[in-house]
Chains A and B, each alone.
Chain A
Amino acid sequence: MAQGSLNPPPQPRGFQVPSLLDIRVLGVLAQLVFVVGFILIAMWFVGNIFENLDKLGESQFICVDGTSSPRCAFDFLSSDAQFPIGESPIDYEPSDSYWRALAAGALNTIKVTVLGIFLATVLGTAVGIARLSPNWLVSQIAKWFVDLLRNTPLVLQLIFLYFSVLLALPKVTEALAIPGIPIFVSQRGVNYVSLAYMPSAATWAAFLILGLIQAQVLYVILGRLQEQTGHEYNRLAWAAVSFVAVAGLGWFMSSNTTNQAILVKNSLRLQEFGDFETVTLNRFGLNRLGEIDERLASGRLTQDEVDEKAISICALRDSSSIDNLVAQLGAAGIPYTVNRQSTRSRTTTAFAEGNCDVYAAPTAVLASERDVLENPATYTLVPVRETPVRFSIPRIDGFNFVGGGKMSTEFTAVLIGLVLNTGAYIAEIVRAGIQAVGKGQSEAARALGLSEGQRLRLVILPQALRVIIPPMTSQYLNLAKNSSLALAVAFPDFWQVANTTVNQSGRSIQIILIVMAYYLSISLLVSYLLNNYNRRIQLVER
């Protein structure tokens, strides 16, 4: 006890009441003051907002029933947007809501961002490796490429690309193309060959998935057999052959004659697909289809005369039926012209008015449209063979391309601009990453007799990735954010649409909130995905 009286018993820390002058207490008090001050300033802002908005009128918070309440701040999103959007992955009309307009813009942004990230990575890696090429010229060109793009503003690059390069390209009718490759580059953008999916493509896709599964199963089973018996199988070849077999079977199973059809007048005497040849030959008064081309070449027939006598087809614009029919006619060498209409009813009217010989559409559509026509009995429904997937090749029709895929000039400008600029930054990252791998690694790889390609692929890049991934993440984020500069070339990305919405509706605060939420969530998503990937890479390495 005597000891205890000399040393006062230690008080539990939690019960110690610190003096008000303790630096820590002062710190906490200061922070509380900061919080209160922050809240007061925020409230002052909010007060100003309401005061200023009141001056602008009650329209900011107008509800459907005409009353005004902050609850209805976002109600305007469901009213009509009333502005057009140049291009959109989803169907969009000016009569659609602001919601849909913003969604179209967001999808455009995602499209350009995802494609841009992929292409910029490819380009950046290539240039980064070229920067370290043993050929002095190659490395100098790569250096100048990187310097030029990194030392000029991106927005200047974008508008230069748009106004001075892409809009200076030839007109549509004189589009640039490498002979034999159906990719056309013109003022209006890039038109390229694409795949047209018929309704039966879904069936074929199911077969493809089935094929993949069974090939995988076969691969595993053969592997087990190999382990058990010691007999060596060419597993990959077996799996590939069986996959091709299933895919081929699926192709024939899903190619059917009931999906697609054409509607023709009985007077045309076209009972089946094979009759196209007879009808054409009768019209031209020839014996062989080949003679048409011969006469065209020798000048005895002009293209106009051929177009006049050729089978004319009415079809809905961008329908897969027309791609299906045209591909078969083209293969058979039968000349044709296409009359494309923008809506189903217009197509039917055009056909009913006798503008064309044949109406191409899916069978079900034709069956119902035939009943709309005046004398249904005077028309025959002729089945057309359908294959699940066909190439859709762009063709000039009037002053524009029809068929195939299309990238608009604005999209092309934004995509190329972002890819070049981000690619330049990525090139430097890749170069630094490769240089960060010890020289000994390269020498060891060479000593093992690996080729230059193998050295890069198997030894250098896997180790460089560890250094490359973190800065790459911020480049990807930059690309996502820089896509907002699409405004400069009027590409309807999310920010451009949001900006138009602000101008149109006057709801600046709401739109700004949506925009911030959108970009912040993209940033979070990309950094989350890449941080995960980064963690995996780091684990594998150690």
Chain B
Amino acid sequence: MEIIQRNARTLVPSRRKMHVNLREFFAEHVFASIWQTGWLVALTGLVAWYTFGQLRAAAATTAVVLIVWAVTVAMTAMAEAKKEHTPLTFWLKENMYNNITNIEVTLFLVLLILAAVRGFYQYAWVNATFETDRITSNEVSYQSTVPELLRSDGVDLSRLPAGVPFTRDVVRNPAGTVIQQKTYIKSADDPNVIAVEHREVHTGATWGSVIANLENLFIFRFKASDLIWRVYASVALVAVLALPSVFVYRDDRFRKSWTRRILSWLWLLTPVIIFFLLYGFGSTGVLRRVDPDQIWGGFLLTVIISIFGIVVSFPIGLLLALGRRSKIQGIPAWLTYPAAGLLTAYLLFTTTPANVAAARSSFEVVLAYWPLLIPLIAYLFQSTFNGNVVATFSTLYIEVVRGVPLITVLFMSIILFPIFLPSAWTFSKTLRVLAAFSLFSAAYLAENVRGGLQAISNGQYEAADSLGLSTFNKYRLIILPQALRAVIPAIVGQFIGLFKDTSLVYLVGLFDFLMVANTISSQPDWLAIRTEPYILLMFVYFIGSSIMAGYSRRLEKQLGVGER
């Protein structure tokens, strides 16, 4: 025991002598090459220039940062020289002060971050107003009767020297900065004329624009109607389901229990219930149908579109994915080619001569022979898809939809739905956009699900077949549970994408979150104010997406994707 202790002491001496060879250090870390020296000189110049600038702008904080930096660098350097690190110096050495470059970069970045934080703090708090009724312009009025002013404002203006501004009625924001003030100036020519200037003086954010529009931003016109209870009921429904879920899904005792099954079915039904709660039935009563174009809006619409989109696109995407992978016996070649040949010949003899005769340019003459493309299409259909109609349709659908931007699909839904359908069938704009979102999302979802299906080994299919399961049961019991589990994180990722993409509907004129934020800038009280609502939106989207992304990561770990 004693020997071990003695040995340990010699191995790790409590105080080791510092041995620093500065010449060696510089030779290795500064003067090793012309590039290294040049880089360090340039970096040091930049950091020194920036630090001096910051010292002038915010002396106290910069000085504190500089001192803390210098002390920690010295501590780390000493510890390194002694080869005796405390946890702090070890962390600093590993993560901030690895080499000269990083020592300087750390100082630079800390100052940069501080400057950014200070700038935002000044903008969002110190110089900001939170008033919801705003003085929109500098109101200047001229009053010629001094006694009246005396009475109304309680100021003895008769003693005010002429031409000198006198400020009172100052309004301060919570940070103590003056944001509104009234200034009186007595005219030098006529002591009875006094100019009163009532103005807003601040350089920061005007949060009132957001605060006054919070209801607009989140539930839009629902707030004005008597139907607001439907929104509350929807939220309540989710809350009521969420509460037991916390226990039922966490606890392993409920695995395979009826409680969990019923709860899962309720969760599946919730989107449908909420959709009809918000949409309504019939033409009268508390549950009467609303016009979504008029009533749905704000963050509520964003949530409706993203949830509706993912729920409706799921079955379609699943079918498309299965369709794309289907290997069923296709239409045989001996049927395809003769049929294609006959069709080509028929069209060539019936339409082409007339089209050639009517052609106005050589380009149109070439176009008239379009039936010749049919054999080519037939060949591609046979060679690529073995005549499998289901796979052809699914693949084409997925690739075409994925090849065009979402915004074009949305415009198509607005413009083309009414043209494609009989004129008697009319849908509101919102419903058309919902349909477009679902159809668009289905193509991407299909690719995610296909990824999951590809991850299933052939053995699983063969095992299911050898058990004598029907195709339907094979997929229901064996393949899909495994495939879907593997792609749940990807589907959550897609839901995040959908959640963000809903902001595009403002471009087709729906009043979603972003559109409502845009309209604030045209309200008379908040003319040209855009930044504040945008910051709120960024915040909401960021929080929403981050929570879901975090959930997806946790799920990935829980499900052990890639481990099973």
Contacts and interface: CB of A to CB of B under 8 A. Distances in A.
Interface of A: 24, 27-28, 31-32, 34-35, 38, 45, 48-49, 51-53, 55, 71, 134-138, 141, 147-148, 150-156, 159-160, 163-164, 168, 481-482, 484-485, 487-488, 495, 499, 502, 508-509, 512, 515-516, 519-520, 523-524
B541 interface: yes
A519 B408 contact: yes
Contact of B541 (A156, A487, A516): A156
B439 to A, nearest CB: 14
B392 to A, nearest CB: 9
B294 to A, nearest CB: 23
Given A53-B419, A137-B109, A508-B415, A27 B96 contact: no
Contact of A152 (B404, B500, B530): B500
B561 interface: no
Interface stretch (B49-57, B176-184, B244-252, B328-336): B328-336
A515 B410 CA distance: 13
Given A24-B329, A31-B330, A31-B331, A155 B405 contact: no
A155 B331 contact: no
Nearest to A487: B507
Contact of B546 (A151, A485, A502, A523): A151
B537 interface: yes
Contact of B404 (A71, A168, A481): A481
Interface stretch (B206-214, B274-282, B310-318, B420-428): B420-428
B329 A156 contact: no
A488 B507 contact: yes
Contacts of A499: 411
Contact of A160 (B422, B502, B538): B538
Do most interface residues of chain A lie in helix, strand or loop, or is the interface mixed? Answer: helix
B388 interface: yes
B105 A485 contact: no
Query: For B405, B412, B423, B514, which residue has the most chain A Cβ atoms within 10 angstroms?
Result: B405
Contacts of B542: 147-148, 151-152
Nearest to B360: A71
Contact of B403 (A45, A52, A524): A524
Contact residues of B: prevailing secondary structure: helix
Given A48-B420, A156-B503, A508-B419, A32 B331 contact: yes
Given A27-B329, A135-B105, A156 B504 contact: no
B534 A49 contact: no
Contacts of A154: 500
Contacts of B537: 152, 156
B530 A52 contact: no
A134 B531 contact: no
B34 interface: no
Interface in B71-119: 94-96, 98, 102, 105-106, 109-110, 113
Given A49-B420, A151-B546, A484 B408 contact: yes
Interface of B: 94-96, 98, 102, 105-106, 109-110, 113, 328-332, 335, 358, 364, 388-390, 393, 400, 402-408, 411-412, 415-416, 418-423, 496, 500-504, 506-507, 514, 518, 530-531, 534, 537-538, 541-542, 545-546, 549
Nearest to B389: A31
Nearest to A520: B403
A508 B506 CA distance: 20
B400 A163 contact: no
B405 A495 contact: yes
Given A48-B419, A147-B546, A499-B411, A153 B329 contact: no
A502 B416 CA distance: 12
Contacts of A164: 530-531, 534
Contact of A508 (B106, B330, B332, B416): B416
A156 B478 CA distance: 43
Of B418, B506, B518, B538, most buried by chain A (CB within 10 Å of CB) is B538
B407 to A, nearest CB: 5
Contact of B96 (A136, A151, A509, A512): A136
B419 A49 contact: yes
Given A135-B106, A148-B542, A153-B541, A485 B504 contact: yes
